[in-house]
A and B are shown apart, each in its own frame.
Chain A
Amino acid sequence: MNFFFGIKSLIVNSKLTIPRFQNKKSSKKGYKVFQLGINNKKWEINNLDDVALSDDFYQIDSSVIDNGNIFCLATKDEVLQFEENNAPKLMNFNNYTDTTPDFRANLQVSIKGGGFSSYQSEYPFSMVTKRGSILSPLSSLCNKSADKNILFLKNIYELPIHDEFGVFFVNLKTKRVLKREVAVTNFMNEIIVEKDFIKPEVFIFTDKYIGIPVFCSIKGKHISLEHTHPPHEYIWGVDRFRIVSELKREFNEIIN
């Protein structure tokens, strides 16, 4: 299954559109949209009754979106089972959004009176159960000529905790840490990227937790939003995880 998320920010507005249908089939009425958040160190789940845009789409606007909340499609029975188990950790409710080709929601960010940009916003359950590190080049999606470059780093972790982890800006050529930011689990972290860091040899690297890095550039009233790929997607073959691990080990040595 996939969870979906939005962005709450002083800089951009966002709205999340979740299709009620799979990409080869019509909508199934039994699947409703639910909102999950952490309350008293437990997952709390609520039905969002009034966000249906049409028979085919749910639309969640910025009044509902919060950086600590996530969303999913599930049936009432699946949610009941989750609540009966006292929700100690996130669970894989169903496989409704496990489709081929990939299921896609749409997270649209916009500037008041200005432009808009979209990204698909799904967070696979397989990532929710994992810890580790992410590695992403900065200059692939940051724009030196933009007024602002922002890294939105979303983490969803199965346990209902807000644990801190490091986000490092690392220069691979000089082997130096340029800056360390602190991010939090189960949160949409907003990190401003300084222009000086936008160079081919500068990467972001996290310790302890993974996540999805979504980069946003703003210039005047124009905006661009896109995510970077995890490094193992660049490599085919049996040893791809070993090769990526070796590169990450190099970054680990730099940050330690």
Chain B
Amino acid sequence: MKSLIKKIARSDVAINVRNFIGFRPVLVSSHRECRVASISDAFPWRTDNGCKTTFKYADILGLFYKIENSYVELVFYSKDNNLIKRIIINRLDYSNELLIDKDFLNGIEGYGVFYIFHRSDSNCGDDLVISNRCYVGFSMEGSLTSFVHGNTYVRYQSLDGKHGGSGMIKSSFFKNLYRIQNSFVEFKKTELFFVNPTATKLNFSIGNNRYRLEEGCSILIDVSGKEDISILSRCLLLRPIIFNYKDCFFDVYHG
């Protein structure tokens, strides 16, 4: 009986109801139609104000599953979710690195997000789901790169690239408060980087300021000098990446 109740509670319909009313919500949905898949965070990139982004990622299929000749596809979008470029990288090491600067992004100075999907042409069985948490680092005007790891599951694709989806982070009917657990009063400047991780339009507010993001869009918000930063939205997991600046130094971490 208990297992039947558990099964019902974990069904798609029940999860939707739980999320809708806010009872034991499931923040991240699984993707039952894709049993052999690669899940990606929405990783931020920045090329604004002389910033360069370094991306470090692992060959998960090679390391954990001993699958040879796997490769990755990286897809880059602008802050307005316009596709900039798509690249395939073959010949992976266990750990790999990619520099993303304005030359790499066709001269674009700005910010946005990108996704990484692992690919394999080999038979990978029927139950293999991986997620590359990766690390993105930011360097400004030649400074040492400051790294932060992936923050939110957003999109997935099958390993053959034929199927995929988005909106892994769910929303509820009621608004959710997320208060960042750090104080920013000591910094000269603080920016929050948000991406809409849901499959729908996202409205959120910080204090009296309201923001709207379409699916896949991202935004950098200046919140300098505030001690209390509370984010109100229907999204169940809306955590920003934080950039703090003091003197001629900066730091990045996930909020």
| Contact of A137 with B95 in the complex, beta carbons under 8 Å | yes
Across the A-B interface, the 3 shortest Cβ-Cβ residue pairs: A200-B93, A222-B144, A115-B249
Consensus secondary structure, chain A interface? loop
Contacts of B95 in A (CB 8 A): 137-140, 200
Q: Are A239 and B64 in contact (CB under 8 A)?
A: no
A172 CA to B94 CA, complexed, in Å: 9
Which stretch of A53-61, A154-162, A185-193, A205-213 is in the interface? A53-61
8 Å CB interface, A131-161 against B: 137-141, 143, 145-146
Q: A23-B180, A116-B246, A234-B64 are in contact. Are A220 and B58 (CB under 8 A)?
A: no
Q: Which residues of A contact B131 (CB under 8 A)?
A: 233-236
- B interface list, Cβ under 8 A from A: 27, 30, 39, 56, 58, 60, 63-65, 93-97, 127-133, 135, 137, 143-149, 176-183, 227-228, 237, 239, 244, 246, 249-251, 253-255
The answer to the question of A106 belonging to the interface, with a C-beta cut-off of 8 Å to chain B, is yes
Complexed CA–CA distance, A105 and B143 (Å): 26
- Whether B63 contacts A247 by the Cβ 8 Å rule is yes
Expressed in whole angstroms, the Cα–Cα distance for A56 and B176 within the complex equals 20
B92 shortest CB reach to chain A, Å: 9
Q: Which of A's residues lie within 8 Å of B, judged by CB?
A: 17, 19, 21, 23-25, 53-54, 56-57, 100-101, 103-106, 108, 114-120, 137-141, 143, 145-146, 172, 200-201, 203, 217-224, 226-229, 231, 233-239, 243-244, 247
Residue from B58, B94, B179 within 8 A of A24 (CB atoms): B179
Q: B133 to A54, Cβ gap below 8 A? A: no
Given contacts A143-B145, A200-B96, A224-B146, 15 further A-B contacts (CB under 8 A): A115-B250, A116-B251, A118-B253, A137-B94, A137-B95, A139-B56, A141-B56, A200-B93, A226-B148, A227-B149, A229-B133, A234-B132, A234-B133, A235-B131, A236-B30
